[in-house]
Structure 1
Amino acid sequence: MTASDQTQTDNPLLRPWTAPHGLPPFESITPDQFSPAFTTALAEQQAEIAAIAESPEEPTFANTVEALERSGAALKRVGGVFFNLAGSHTNDAIQAVEREMAPVLAKHRNSIFMNEALFRRVDALYNERENLGLTAEQARVLERYRTIFVRAGAQLAPDEKKRLAAVTERLASLGTQFSQNVLADEKSYRLILETEEDLAGLPSFLREAAAQAAEEAGLTGRHIITLSRSSIEPFLQFSSRRDLREQAFKAWAARGDNGNATDNKAIIAEMVALRAERAELLGYDTFADFKLADTMAKTPDAVLTLLNEVWTPARSRAQKERDALQAQAQMRGDNIEIAPWDWRYYADQVRMARHNLDEATIKPYFQLDRIIDAAFDTAHRLFGLTFRELQDFPRYHPDIRAWQVTDDEGAPVGIFIGDYFARGSKRSGAWMSAFRSQERLTGDIRPIIVNVMNFAKAAPGEPSLLSFDDARTLFHEFGHALHGLLSNVTYPLLAGTSVSTDFVELPSQLYEHWLSQPEILRRYATHYRTGEPIPEALLERLMAARNFNQGFSTVEYLASAFVDIDLHRRKHSGDLDVSAFEKESLERIGMPREIIMRHRTPHFAHVFSGDGYSSGYYSYLWSEVLDADAFTAFEETGDAFNRDMADKLKRFIYSAGNLRDPAEAYRAFRGRLPTPDALLVKRGLAVAGEA
């Protein structure tokens, strides 16, 4: 037995997954196994790539493109496990591996997509594509591969390739450090509530969650507020202690911006400069031009047109909301000017006054388990899916749950994992990812999809309760999960969520609409103590208040999207003062002083933890134009669960991966592309018929 054979025998990451349902053997994996597994897997793919590139045979689709698609199987397995754990259950050892591997993996990718001999084979096939007898899917794979090669620098001169490779490797390291810095700031902060006075205004569910967080932190008998959204946002909403709201809010806003070892401003400045240089090397004016060329939007001007179209009514609405909050404060005798740490507190009071609706009344009807059931039932009614919970399966954390998913004929679809609770080892936010993606090239490979959330965990024996926004987040991420689970393609490159950034949010944002359907809420919004369904009067008030505070939420989102685009339209010249740039960018759009960006630049993980949403944070709004119009298609039938419409949605959107250009895919579903009108009505920024 060779040393390599011995490594493969000893390392569970390199062996086939034989655990129940094909899940990774989480409980057998230790952090020290990742580096050697990566080393072996990288060497394996390097040998596969060399065999393709150096083949003496004339290039064919099978010996070049399909061979590329088959390569790197071990690396996909190792990376799938590693990067999911790095986000959802990390530790110092995993973070060290993450820092070590970031430039190595970037270098490996460069070695593939800058390989001159390999590109010549792909390019030759592309130039002859009309004569190769390819299926539509094969033609799409070939076109996508050529685009990836060109955008990775395959056509550059040797010196330019060398510099571009150095740039991308450095960017990978910086992005990793950025995300680790944000997590460190989130983990290190605790607002300890010592006395009953400190707890003033907090409803029982928040007190219980804060007590549970303190228990887990070893502070039994006390209460703590963390920088997880599920902790700090309700604290800002309910705490009547303005001094503590200000303290917590400033810590939340200052993640990555504290002038210490975890400060991200120098990292951002370097990343923005390197991205601009990358774009310049590839022949683009700015990084935004480069990034958007391969999206639905195509250009920064198209993005800015949409952002500006929504900004004007959103800002106007937010100013009216601010005036209402100021009036509420004065009515209470609070001699203050509304500040960012006051908005949620007074907004909750105004909402109560206008709609007789407060979170403490709503939350008992939104149990986590019931909302999971609601998401599953919606998927069953739309797409015929059934979910059977697994009991005996390998777990990377005791809290995770898993379900086997089958179709309407009982055939296996995949495995869905839910990881719902906040913890110190998990980065903030909510996301979907895949431990394994669907494809048919190497067999009937079924997906293993995970949703990761950061909900507050209830005390033992008590159900975890969600806000309506939490419930919407669960539906949103489950929409992404369905995009991965329902994938029905042959080639891995096109599977699931492997679509342009401004299209990938369509399945998730569209799915949110079904949570608000009265028939779903009547069945699944049940009181956690009595089991009684949500009262009709409360349901009506909840629906009437859906667009309450929409000016605020739209403005805080748009501000982040504007700053993202502004940063990446910057030319590669001069030093960047990140704080001054953020301030100038917000002043240019007239940002209300009472609201801050949803994600301030020093902790803007969407944009700086990797390359995914750089120049792309606008994508949520772009996709919302699509999702508002797409749900209208169901409403026009008079049935939110219309099966014919659901079948079209599944065929052209949820199961289609990247089989088609996004605009073509949407037209195939809807018959046309939408305008922003439905979005403005959905957000309550325009009246139907007047958008």
Structure 2
Amino acid sequence: MISKSIKTAIICSIILVSSCKEDTKATDKLMTDNVLLQEWTGPYDGVPAFDKMDVENLKEAVEKGMELNLAEIDAIANNTEAPTFENTIVAMEAAGKELNRVFAYYGIMSSNVSSPEFRKVQAELAPKLSEFNSKISQNEKLFQRVKAVYKASQKTPLEPQAQRVVDLTYKGFEMNGANLDADKKKRYAEINKELSTLYTKFGNNVLHDEENYVTYLTKEQLGGLSEGFIKSAAKIATDKGQDGKYAIVNTRSSMDPFLKYSTERELRKQVWENYYSRGDNGDEYDNNKIIAEILKLRKERVGLMGYENYAQWRLQDRMAKTPENAMGLMLKVWPASTARVKEEVRDMQTIANELGDNITIEPWDYRYYAEKVRKKKYDLDSDEVKQYLQLDKLREAMFFTAGELFNYKFTPVEEGSVPVFHEDVKVWEVTDKDSGKHIGLWYLDTYAREGKRSGAWATTYRSYTSFEGETNVLASNNNNFVKPAPGEAVLISWDDATTFFHEFGHALHFYSSNVKYPTLNGGVRDYTEFQSQLLERWLSTDKVINQFLVHYKTGEPIPAELVEKIKNAATFNQGFGTTEYLASALMDMKLHLADPTDIDIDTFERETLTKLGMPKELPMRHRTPHFGHVFSGEGYATAYYGYMWADVLTSDASEAFREAPNGFYDKDVADKLVKYLFAPRNAMDPADAYRLFRGRDAKIEALMKDRGFPVTLE
């Protein structure tokens, strides 16, 4: 931990001595007055003061945090001593603590409690943050020190984790243009600045359309909807000033069940169109031109470094290594998934004809008639299953799984003892079941609300490291389940329950971290989804089903015959699920392999889907104009394929548990799972880590089998 006095010395080293005392006082006052910059205090080694955060303090805090961080970086770069691992790499790992604290609040304001006021500040800060990052990645003196340490380590390797940090740090500088000449570096920084503004606008446009396209129903339009869904829709409408009506908000958690069960076909079409046209309404919030500009800038930026396209640059440090490898995997699965869609549509059309509905299956019909096929083929009613999927009981099931595999215990903290940013957020302490050792806190933000981005995600406010003494983990899971009416149980679909387990898998990955340095808590994008996808498998284990799937009214366990139906229908609708995902992943890759010079996004999307043979009866999971994974930042750009890459690992790893004497609760396999696949995070190459766990590379056959697709592959 860098002490306050050392930080003051660092700042003073880069400003005039005569003004040092005055500036130190100003910094001290700002650190005292601005809660977003302050060290976290209170229990559990200090926690964020979420109850005191304010948008008004954000801009000042971010700017001061950047200033302090850059002062630390300049001190490292200008160190007159010869570069060493300690005075260069470790010093960089230790820098930026104030800014990291501010970003914990920034992330909450951006994702969980966004507001017009925040979005204005966010837009102002985006280019400044880009400039800040460029000042570090293009600091020539700093890079030369990093390069010197890297070259020395190639001759005399460091201990494994230290070597991994050096390799990743050097590669990060190299991939971000550190070897460019001055003119190219300048253009590189300009592009990043332009992109940062475009990413912010893209995300805010999608959020606008999610907040402003609401479908209000009357009592006569509620056919097919469950009692719980109706009560929740009534409450949402009342909260929006439409008392006596029923609101279908423009998020997946509201749209999906409506399309499954509503008997009102025209309303299904309206809700479907609202959802899939986010960012594509031809108004000031339309994202098509923004996407075209993003693609041009990304290609120009990597072109400065000699790459043909963005995908080639991005994938070099991923498991796939090349866009050809990623495309190869997806195109092996695509024919089987689209063939299955044809079978599913045929079955649905038969049902529609038998009912005398006189329709041709359209995208807004798919979920509705799929449920009828499920009922006919497997005598399985999703709404019946839902009665046994209580959110609270599923949370207990996740805790049970964490205890069995990781030896973790989750205990709710006393209400009010840990600050939260919204009354819906609940907090648990995570400890080791045997020793009682404190591991961290788990924050859960469950419900959809205005200002909260859609989807589900996991994040950390503080990660585990040990290079300055062990730190505990502050992690959160965030969902968008529809909040129930007062006194009602939260019942969710099997798909939503799977997502709940998935995101919890990310949290367990955070808690199990055993890395020394912060950089090693990062991840390889096509590997980081593996751990969370693997945890989904425990939802359908007998121990979870028999203990935690109980009827929300009677408390009776789920009937054995219903469980059997669920298992028999495990591969049902895999054509839909796989194809809608793959279409988005293929589109992501093809957009970044294409020449963006005169690209028309709408035309490109339609023509690409036609060439792929996309079934007309379903859309991409994320249409291009609202594909936030790819265009509200760069985390998943040319990396959305990673979910399938990770699922190859998931299916293969699941086979290891199935083959074990005690199945998914086998202690020996679970120990190897934690040791090799969770604890190392990015401290070793993912391919090496997987081989240590499995004894070989993963094979695609298990994935095809899991999805009920033909296993014979070329």
TM-score, with structure 2 as normaliser? 0.95
Q: Which moved more, 1:84-93 or 1:424-433?
A: 84-93
Do the aligned partners of 1:269 and 1:576 also contact (CA within 8 Å) in 2? yes
Mapped pair 1:524 → 2:512: no
Task: Give me the whole-angstrom Cα distance separating, in 2, the residues matched to 1:282 and 1:589.
Answer: 31
Inter-partner Cα distance in structure 2 for 1:221 and 1:212: 9
The 5 Å alignment of 1:645-684 reads: 645-684=669-708
Aligned-residue offset at 1:130:
4.2
Structure 1 distance, partners of 2:131, 2:432, is 41
Q: 2:656 is matched by which residue type in structure 1? A: A
Question: Is the counterpart of residue 68 in structure 1 residue 92 in structure 2?
Answer: yes
Corresponding residue for 1:316?
339
Offset of 1:227 from its aligned partner? 1.3
Residue 213 of structure 2 is aligned to residue 189 of structure 1: yes
Amino acid at match of 1:406: T
Q: CA deviation at 1:421?
A: 0.5
SS of the aligned residue for 1:507 comes to: helix
Does the 8 Å CA contact 1:84/1:435 hold for their aligned counterparts?
no
Deviations 1:40-86 (A, max 9, x none): 11111111111111111000100000001011111111012211331
Higher mean C-alpha displacement, 265-274 vs 647-656: 647-656
- SS of the residue 1:417 aligns to: strand
User: Which residue does the alignment assign to 1:372?
Assistant: 395
- One-letter amino acid matched to 2:410: F
Q: Which deviates the most, 459-468 or 216-225? A: 216-225
* 1:463 aligns with one of 489, 496, 512: 489
CA contact (8 A) 2:53 2:105 kept: no
Q: Distance in 2 between matches of 1:172 and 1:690?
A: 42
Q: Give the Cα–Cα distance (whole angstroms) in 2 for the partners of residues 417 and 631 of structure 1.
A: 28
Percent identity between matched residues is 43
Q: 1:494, 1:659 within 8 Å by CA — same for their partners in 2?
A: yes
* Residue of structure 2 equivalent to 1:416: 442
Q: Which residue of 2 aligns with 1:167?
A: 191
- In 1: Cα distance, 2:605 partner to 2:154 partner: 49
Distance in 2, Cα, partners of 1:690 & 1:215? 54
Match of 1:212 among 215, 235, 238: 235
Structure 1 residues 179-328: aligned runs within 5 Å: 179-196=203-220, 198-328=221-351
Q: 1:690 to 1:574 in 2, by over 3 A?
A: closer
Distance in 2, matches of 1:533 and 1:12, equals 48
Counterpart CA distance in 2 for 1:184 and 1:368 is 28
Does the 8 Å CA contact 2:157/2:163 hold for their aligned counterparts? no
Superposed CA deviations along residues 575-632 of structure 1, whole A, max 9, x for unmatched, are 2100000011111110011111000000001100100000011000000000000111
Find the residue that maps to 1:341 and give its secondary structure. Answer: helix
Structure 1 unpaired stretches of 5+: none
What is the Cα deviation at residue 236 of structure 1?
0.5
Contact 2:318 2:526 in 1 (8 A): yes
Are 2:536 and 1:512 equivalent residues in the alignment?
A: yes
The one-letter code of the counterpart of 1:622 is W
- Pair 1:397-2:417 in alignment: no
Q: Secondary structure at the match of 1:360?
A: helix
Q: Which amino acid aligns with 2:232?
A: A
- Counterpart of 1:453 in 2: which secondary structure? strand
Contact 2:649 2:698 in 1 (8 A): yes
Corresponding residue number in structure 1 for 2:17: none
Given candidates 461, 474, 478, the residue that maps to 1:448 is 474
Partner amino acid, structure 1, of 2:442:
F
The C-alpha deviation readout for 1:70-122, integer Å capped at 9, x for no partner, is 11111111012211331111111211221112121111111111111111111
User: What pairs with 1:265-664 in structure 2 (closer than 5 Å)?
Assistant: 265-390=288-413, 391-392=415-416, 393-408=418-433, 409-495=435-521, 498-571=522-595, 574-638=597-661, 639-664=663-688
**Deviation digits for residues 293-347 of structure 1 (CA, Å, limit 9, x no counterpart):** 1100011110111011000111111101010111111000011110000001110
Contact kept, 8 Å, 1:562 with 1:585, in 2: the verdict is: no
Give 4+ residue runs of structure 1 displaced > 4 Å after superposition. Answer: 130-133
Counterpart of 2:226, as a letter, is: P
CA distance in 2, matches of 1:471, 1:305: 31
CA distance in 2 between partners of 1:644 and 1:106 (Å): 46
> Partner letter of residue 105 of structure 1?
L
1:398 partner SS: coil
Of 139, 142, 154, the match for 2:163: 139
Determine which of 11, 23, 29 is the counterpart of 2:53: 29
Aligned letter for 2:468? T
| RMSD of Structure 2 on Structure 1 (CA) | 1.3
The residue correspondences of 1:113-132 to structure 2 (distance < 5 A) are 113-132=137-156
Distance 1:185 1:536 in 2: 43
Q: Secondary structure at the match of 1:293?
A: helix
* Partner SS state of residue 6, structure 1: helix
Q: Which amino acid counterpart does residue 155 of structure 1 have in structure 2?
A: N
Asked whether the equivalents of residues 276 and 570 of structure 1 are also in contact (C-alpha less than 8 Å), the reply is: no
Looking at structure 2, the residues matched to 155 and 690 of structure 1 have their Cα atoms a distance apart, in angstroms, of 43
Alpha-carbon separation, structure 2, partners of 1:215 and 1:24: 33
1:216, distance to aligned residue in structure 2 (A): 2.3
Structure 1 residue aligned with 2:3: none
CA distance in 2: counterparts of 1:439 and 1:77, whole angstroms: 16
Matched to 2:431, the amino acid is T
Q: Determine the structure 1 residue equivalent to 2:38.
A: 15
Could you give the per-residue CA deviations for residues 634-673 of structure 1, whole angstroms, max 9, x where no partner exists? Answer: 1110321111111111111111111111111111111111
